[in-house]
Amino acid sequence: MLSFHGQPEVKRAVLSQMHQHIKDATMGDITVGKWRLHLYGWQDQVIDYATCEVALGIPQDLLRLGVSFFEGFPDGDDGVREVVRTRRRFVKAIPVGVDLTPIATRFLLWLLFDAKIGPACLVDDPLMVEATLRVTELLSNRLCGPTPDGEARAALDAARVAEVAAAADLAAVRTPEARERAFALGRKQDIWAEERRRSEPVRAAQALAAAARYASGDAREVTEVSHCLVWGHDGVSPHDDHAHLDDRFAEELLALLREAGTPDDG
């Protein structure tokens, strides 16, 4: 499968329609041949990733990453224009006539080894190390072709074991008794810091499990990996700069697209 089916005119047509959407401050459909595509996914718009893949020759896991990291809030006409402009930046960066199948997997490998939030760099618990090794090996092997079911199950099981252990460790400091004792000693900040520290392996294990499910063939899980690392199981991000993390992810995705080929806008 080649991006835009190797036809620069397909990409030009998509970008032209998106440019018109910016001018009109609307998030309308994109027409590609016989298909009418939603690329914005707002309100009643549902992005059919499978159809977009067929129409555009772009893997749906890559499209899911693009939608996740190149987004915004369409508050008023200016907000709508910014959303479309941001999404168009992603589409414009996609080279023509390239097999982009490996990009999402390469992105996840980068993410798992990221020095700021990647489990491979931050967590040294033996169970987590085992899970990280299995999952990263699974993703690396996926770049060479389909992975055996047994290998995928082993990686997912290792991640689940690590998550159960980490969750139990976190729960030990979240009991009413532990909190009351800390509050009575005037150590409220200490207990919160400890909870934050112990939540890190939980988030990492959840991200590894999502990566294993993705490598097993579930393209929907590709965005869950970054979500788990940033927000975790309870939806509360421990990262003070979490608002900027998506920007970092977006820039890395653009860098991988640049490595794959030169964007051709015609």
Q: What is the mean pLDDT of residues 240-253?
A: 84
pLDDT at 239: 65
Q: Does the pLDDT at position 62 exceed 80?
A: yes
Decide if 4 contacts 97 (C-beta within 8 A). Answer: yes
Burial class (CB in 10 A: 0-12, 13-18, 19+), 52: buried
More confident residue, 193 or 21: 21
Q: Does the pLDDT at position 159 exceed 60?
A: yes
Q: What is the mean pLDDT of residues 224-253?
A: 80
Residue in 166, 7, 183 with CA at minimum distance from that of residue 96: 7
Q: What is the mean pLDDT of residues 14-29?
A: 96
Residue 15 has phi, psi (to 5 degrees) of -65, -35
Q: What is the mean pLDDT of residues 116-144?
A: 88
> Percentage of the chain surpassing pLDDT 70?
89
Q: What is the mean pLDDT of residues 205-228?
A: 91
pLDDT at 192: 66
More confident residue, 78 or 186: 78
pLDDT classification of 242: cutoffs 50, 70, 90: low
Least confident of 118-127, 131-140, 207-216: 118-127
Query: In whole numbers, what is the pLDDT of the chain averaged over residues?
Result: 88
